[in-house]
A and B are shown apart, each in its own frame.
Chain A
Amino acid sequence: MDYLEVANSTALFIIVVIVLAMVAAQAVLFIRTAMKRGYELGMTKESMGKTITNSAVFSVLPSLPIIITLLAMMPALGKYLPWLRLSVIGSAMYESMAADTALTTLGYTGLGDPSVTKEAFLSVVWVMSLGIMIGPVLNTLFLKKYDTTMKGAMKAGGFISVGLGSLFLGFLAVNTVPRLLNFGDPVGQCITAVSGGSAVLLNYIGKKAKIKVMSEFSFPLALIIGMASAILLTKIFA
């Protein structure tokens, strides 16, 4: 597996660190620019600080399983490529599938095939990098025009501004209703209901009893309760 010389090389490590530093710098720049705009709009440091804490707390749990994919991909793809790929653009599912698809198309059995050459590894890097680039490319080319059109529609008022404000309900329905109605997976159904019910209750009790932490962090707290209930429910339904 001589391609691992390339995959675990110091050169790749340095390149990956530079790329990830750029991505982190982009996030920091956007946060700072948004906060400056927030102050202009009369938003308080407290309200924006709450968003920072809430988002940070929520993001920890869904990020942890990505470590499993990172460690699973490292024996086949080296230490640094999975680290880069899982930190940017795609998801754990995309990166595993992209690497495997690339290798099988190139004539190998898939991830873990010991006969992969350095050139084939480089091909995999190309495919993983370009295969999911469409989102950022479309953002660069068309997002400004699309955003300006939508802002114009919102300004026009009427049902369009209400409609655009309700779009997220469509996204929530497409992903949540099937889970609530999945009678083939009663554990999943119950978890969806438990975490949803917890969020409603935490918000209600927090507001009534004036316990700010409960209402303001109802989402990440409900997520933890939902995940904890998964452990109990799996034992009950097993």
Chain B
Amino acid sequence: MNDNEQAAIDYSNKIHKLGRITTLMVIIALVSVPVLLGIIFNLKVDFGATFAAFLACFALFGPAGAVEFFSFAPIFGAGGQYLAFITGNIQNMKLPAAISNVASSGYENGSPEADVISTIAVGVSSLVTMAILILGLIMGSFLLPFLQSPVLAPAFNNLMPAIMGALAIPRFFSNPRGAVGPCLLSVALLLTLGRPWYMKYNTYLIPVFLITAIAWSYVLYKMDEKKKIH
């Protein structure tokens, strides 16, 4: 094994050790919030009712969380994944931050350099959101009229179309062959499943699209191999 390979293994081990330890610490810290409140204020919860409420919530969001774990790890890389799942806002902030920065860096997706870029992008995005929320807490009543202004409302109400357009269209332009397979799948599913179903179960469709992206790249790979032979 050469030095570069050993360095890659060392970094991977370091990131996973850091990720597991810090994630576990944050999980414990988050669970300790209700535990400490119960102790400090001498409160006892109705376990049955709380568990039922947890199940209702988990039924809505748990499966989607599992799907996101499998779907986004290959895109984020390990460092970005550990961070993104702690601070949330994954599809509307962390993924766009990671994807756009890797794309503009020029490094190949999945390369060690792309991993570094993704981790930095997600980490910075997390810190910025935390800072903005502190600002919101301190200056909320001053900022609210601006944020809720009817003039600016269309801008904030259309954040996702603006983010996805700015993120996706340049990527489709620079790799139209690679994009056409997943895009055609999207059209087919919209026509067969209907928009309301598609948008409601959007997160569950993501793995289908990721598998399609891989399958489509196989088709293109085989086509390119045939061209090389001829």
Contacts and interface: CB of A to CB of B under 8 A. Distances in A.
B195 A182 contact: yes
A219 B167 contact: yes
B110 A165 contact: yes
Interface size class on chain A is 35 or more
B74 A119 contact: no
B43 A83 contact: no
A163 B86 contact: no
A41 B78 CA distance: 17
A173 B179 CA distance: 7
Interface class of chain B by DSSP = helix
Contacts of A144: 16, 20, 78
B66 interface: yes
A154 B54 CA distance: 39
Contacts of B31: 129-130
A233 B169 CA distance: 20
Nearest to A38: B116
A140 B16 CA distance: 9
Q: Is the interface of A mostly helix, strand, loop or mixed?
A: helix
Contacts of A30: 15, 18-19, 22, 79, 82-83, 119, 123
A61 interface: yes
A180 B211 CA distance: 22
Contacts of B137: 70, 79, 83
A112 interface: no
Given A150-B73, A178-B199, A196-B168, A228 B40 contact: no
23 contacts: A15-B37, A26-B22, A27-B126, A37-B11, A37-B112, A41-B112, A43-B113, A50-B104, A52-B124, A55-B121, A63-B133, A66-B129, A101-B60, A122-B43, A131-B57, A136-B86, A166-B217, A167-B214, A168-B99, A172-B99, A194-B165, A216-B104, A219-B96
Given A126-B50, A175-B168, 14 more contacts: A6-B37, A19-B29, A19-B32, A48-B116, A60-B128, A68-B148, A106-B46, A106-B49, A137-B27, A143-B81, A167-B214, A168-B171, A169-B178, A195-B162
